[in-house]
A and B are shown apart, each in its own frame.
Chain A
Protein backbone atom coordinates (compact mmCIF):
# COMPACT_ATOMS: atom_id res chain seq x y z
CA UNK A 1 0.00 0.00 0.00
CA UNK A 2 2.83 2.36 0.85
CA UNK A 3 4.53 1.56 -2.44
CA UNK A 4 1.28 2.20 -4.31
CA UNK A 5 0.79 5.53 -2.53
CA UNK A 6 4.39 6.57 -3.22
CA UNK A 7 4.19 5.51 -6.85
CA UNK A 8 0.94 7.39 -7.42
CA UNK A 9 2.37 10.50 -5.79
CA UNK A 10 5.51 10.35 -7.94
CA UNK A 11 3.40 9.82 -11.08
CA UNK A 12 1.13 12.75 -10.19
CA UNK A 13 4.05 15.11 -9.54
CA UNK A 14 5.66 14.03 -12.84
CA UNK A 15 2.45 14.78 -14.73
CA UNK A 16 2.20 18.20 -13.06
CA UNK A 17 5.82 18.96 -14.02
CA UNK A 18 5.14 17.90 -17.63
CA UNK A 19 2.03 20.11 -17.67
CA UNK A 20 4.07 23.10 -16.46
CA UNK A 21 6.74 22.44 -19.10
CA UNK A 22 3.95 22.33 -21.71
CA UNK A 23 2.57 25.64 -20.45
CA UNK A 24 6.02 27.15 -21.06
CA UNK A 25 6.94 25.45 -24.34
CA UNK A 26 3.76 25.25 -26.46
CA UNK A 27 3.28 28.02 -29.03
CA UNK A 28 -0.26 29.39 -28.65
CA UNK A 29 -2.76 29.89 -25.80
CA UNK A 30 -5.13 27.08 -26.83
CA UNK A 31 -2.30 24.52 -26.91
CA UNK A 32 -1.05 25.78 -23.55
CA UNK A 33 -4.54 25.33 -22.16
CA UNK A 34 -4.65 21.77 -23.50
CA UNK A 35 -1.45 20.99 -21.58
CA UNK A 36 -2.51 22.75 -18.37
CA UNK A 37 -5.98 21.20 -18.30
CA UNK A 38 -5.46 17.59 -19.35
CA UNK A 39 -2.07 16.81 -17.85
CA UNK A 40 -2.73 19.11 -14.89
CA UNK A 41 -6.02 17.43 -13.98
CA UNK A 42 -4.57 13.94 -14.32
CA UNK A 43 -1.52 14.89 -12.27
CA UNK A 44 -3.51 16.42 -9.44
CA UNK A 45 -5.99 13.53 -9.37
CA UNK A 46 -3.20 10.92 -9.22
CA UNK A 47 -1.35 12.89 -6.54
CA UNK A 48 -4.47 13.20 -4.37
CA UNK A 49 -5.18 9.48 -4.84
CA UNK A 50 -1.66 8.73 -3.61
CA UNK A 51 -2.13 11.09 -0.67
CA UNK A 52 -5.42 9.36 0.21
CA UNK A 53 -3.77 5.91 0.12
CA UNK A 54 -0.88 6.89 2.38
CA UNK A 55 -1.14 5.78 6.03
CA UNK A 56 -0.31 9.28 7.31
CA UNK A 57 -3.63 10.62 6.03
CA UNK A 58 -6.84 8.63 6.26
CA UNK A 59 -8.76 8.57 2.99
CA UNK A 60 -11.57 10.83 4.07
CA UNK A 61 -14.31 12.33 2.01
CA UNK A 62 -12.29 15.53 1.48
CA UNK A 63 -9.69 14.03 -0.84
CA UNK A 64 -12.29 12.14 -2.87
CA UNK A 65 -14.48 15.25 -3.06
CA UNK A 66 -11.56 17.40 -4.23
CA UNK A 67 -10.66 14.86 -6.92
CA UNK A 68 -14.25 14.49 -8.14
CA UNK A 69 -14.80 18.23 -8.14
CA UNK A 70 -11.63 18.88 -10.14
CA UNK A 71 -12.45 16.16 -12.66
CA UNK A 72 -15.93 17.68 -13.07
CA UNK A 73 -15.11 21.38 -13.23
CA UNK A 74 -11.70 21.72 -14.93
CA UNK A 75 -12.98 20.58 -18.37
CA UNK A 76 -15.90 23.01 -18.07
CA UNK A 77 -13.56 25.83 -17.07
CA UNK A 78 -11.19 25.01 -19.94
CA UNK A 79 -14.07 25.04 -22.42
CA UNK A 80 -15.24 28.43 -21.16
CA UNK A 81 -11.72 29.87 -21.25
CA UNK A 82 -10.96 28.41 -24.70
CA UNK A 83 -14.14 29.85 -26.18
CA UNK A 84 -13.46 33.23 -24.56
CA UNK A 85 -9.85 33.38 -25.75
CA UNK A 86 -10.90 32.41 -29.29
CA UNK A 87 -13.53 35.15 -29.33
CA UNK A 88 -11.04 37.66 -27.92
CA UNK A 89 -8.87 37.02 -30.99
CA UNK A 90 -6.09 34.72 -29.85
CA UNK A 91 -3.35 33.62 -32.24
CA UNK A 92 -3.70 30.11 -33.70
CA UNK A 93 -0.45 28.36 -34.61
CA UNK A 94 -0.24 25.64 -37.23
CA UNK A 95 -3.63 26.12 -38.94
CA UNK A 96 -4.09 26.70 -42.68
CA UNK A 97 -7.48 28.31 -42.32
CA UNK A 98 -9.83 29.09 -39.44
CA UNK A 99 -12.75 26.60 -39.46
CA UNK A 100 -14.76 28.74 -37.01
CA UNK A 101 -14.37 31.89 -39.08
CA UNK A 102 -18.11 32.51 -39.49
CA UNK A 103 -19.15 31.19 -36.08
CA UNK A 104 -19.40 32.80 -32.65
CA UNK A 105 -20.17 36.21 -34.12
CA UNK A 106 -16.75 36.83 -35.65
CA UNK A 107 -13.50 37.63 -33.92
CA UNK A 108 -12.01 40.80 -32.60
CA UNK A 109 -9.41 41.59 -35.26
CA UNK A 110 -10.27 38.88 -37.77
CA UNK A 111 -8.43 35.56 -37.85
CA UNK A 112 -4.80 35.65 -36.77
CA UNK A 113 -3.37 32.44 -38.11
Chain B
Protein backbone atom coordinates (compact mmCIF):
# COMPACT_ATOMS: atom_id res chain seq x y z
CA UNK B 1 0.00 0.00 0.00
CA UNK B 2 1.35 3.40 -0.87
CA UNK B 3 0.47 6.72 0.68
CA UNK B 4 -0.87 8.73 -2.25
CA UNK B 5 -1.03 12.15 -0.52
CA UNK B 6 2.61 11.76 0.53
CA UNK B 7 3.56 10.67 -2.99
CA UNK B 8 1.77 13.70 -4.41
CA UNK B 9 3.67 16.00 -2.04
CA UNK B 10 6.95 14.38 -3.13
CA UNK B 11 6.07 14.77 -6.80
CA UNK B 12 5.31 18.45 -6.16
CA UNK B 13 8.99 18.81 -5.19
CA UNK B 14 9.97 17.24 -8.54
CA UNK B 15 7.68 19.70 -10.32
CA UNK B 16 9.27 22.55 -8.36
CA UNK B 17 12.61 21.66 -9.96
CA UNK B 18 10.94 21.79 -13.38
CA UNK B 19 9.39 25.12 -12.38
CA UNK B 20 12.84 26.55 -11.62
CA UNK B 21 14.17 25.35 -14.98
CA UNK B 22 11.26 26.85 -16.96
CA UNK B 23 11.49 30.06 -14.92
CA UNK B 24 15.19 30.28 -15.73
CA UNK B 25 14.36 30.05 -19.44
CA UNK B 26 11.79 32.80 -18.96
CA UNK B 27 14.33 35.10 -17.28
CA UNK B 28 17.20 34.25 -19.64
CA UNK B 29 15.32 33.59 -22.91
CA UNK B 30 17.17 35.51 -25.60
CA UNK B 31 14.11 36.12 -27.77
CA UNK B 32 10.50 36.99 -27.06
CA UNK B 33 9.37 33.60 -28.41
CA UNK B 34 11.48 31.84 -25.75
CA UNK B 35 9.66 33.70 -23.01
CA UNK B 36 6.26 32.78 -24.45
CA UNK B 37 7.30 29.13 -24.64
CA UNK B 38 8.45 29.31 -21.03
CA UNK B 39 5.07 30.77 -20.09
CA UNK B 40 3.37 27.82 -21.83
CA UNK B 41 5.56 25.42 -19.88
CA UNK B 42 4.92 27.25 -16.59
CA UNK B 43 1.15 27.01 -17.12
CA UNK B 44 1.38 23.28 -17.83
CA UNK B 45 3.39 22.90 -14.61
CA UNK B 46 0.82 24.94 -12.69
CA UNK B 47 -1.96 22.62 -13.91
CA UNK B 48 0.14 19.69 -12.71
CA UNK B 49 0.58 21.40 -9.33
CA UNK B 50 -3.19 21.93 -9.07
CA UNK B 51 -3.79 18.20 -9.65
CA UNK B 52 -1.11 17.15 -7.16
CA UNK B 53 -2.44 19.58 -4.53
CA UNK B 54 -5.93 18.13 -4.88
CA UNK B 55 -4.54 14.66 -4.13
CA UNK B 56 -2.27 15.85 -1.30
CA UNK B 57 -5.07 17.72 0.48
CA UNK B 58 -7.97 15.50 -0.58
CA UNK B 59 -9.93 18.43 -1.97
CA UNK B 60 -11.29 18.01 -5.48
CA UNK B 61 -11.84 21.74 -5.89
CA UNK B 62 -8.20 22.29 -6.84
CA UNK B 63 -8.90 20.57 -10.16
CA UNK B 64 -11.18 23.50 -11.08
CA UNK B 65 -8.14 25.78 -10.85
CA UNK B 66 -6.40 23.53 -13.35
CA UNK B 67 -9.34 23.81 -15.75
CA UNK B 68 -9.32 27.60 -15.41
CA UNK B 69 -5.58 27.74 -16.10
CA UNK B 70 -5.98 25.51 -19.16
CA UNK B 71 -8.71 27.82 -20.50
CA UNK B 72 -6.63 30.96 -19.93
CA UNK B 73 -3.48 29.38 -21.38
CA UNK B 74 -4.93 28.91 -24.85
CA UNK B 75 -6.23 32.46 -25.12
CA UNK B 76 -2.92 33.85 -23.83
CA UNK B 77 -0.89 31.81 -26.32
CA UNK B 78 -3.09 32.87 -29.24
CA UNK B 79 -2.87 36.53 -28.20
CA UNK B 80 0.93 36.40 -27.79
CA UNK B 81 1.29 34.70 -31.19
CA UNK B 82 -0.77 37.45 -32.84
CA UNK B 83 1.37 40.04 -31.04
CA UNK B 84 4.61 38.41 -32.19
CA UNK B 85 3.38 38.19 -35.78
CA UNK B 86 2.39 41.85 -35.80
CA UNK B 87 5.77 42.92 -34.45
CA UNK B 88 7.38 42.18 -37.85
CA UNK B 89 5.43 44.91 -39.60
CA UNK B 90 6.72 47.64 -37.33
Contact = CB atoms under 8 A, between A and B. Distances in A.
Given A23-B22, A24-B21, A33 B73 contact: no
A32 B63 CA distance: 27
Given A9-B7, A77-B74, A81-B77, A69 B45 contact: no
B7 A62 contact: no
Interface centre among B11, B32, B58, B82 (most CB of A within 10 A): B11
20 contacts: A2-B4, A5-B4, A9-B11, A17-B17, A20-B19, A23-B21, A44-B48, A47-B48, A50-B51, A51-B63, A55-B4, A66-B70, A74-B74, A77-B73, A77-B77, A81-B40, A81-B81, A83-B81, A87-B85, A90-B31
Interface of B: 1-2, 4-5, 7-8, 11, 14-15, 17-19, 21-22, 24-25, 31-34, 36-38, 40-41, 44-45, 47-48, 51-52, 54-55, 58-60, 63-64, 66-67, 70-71, 73-74, 77-78, 80-85, 87-88
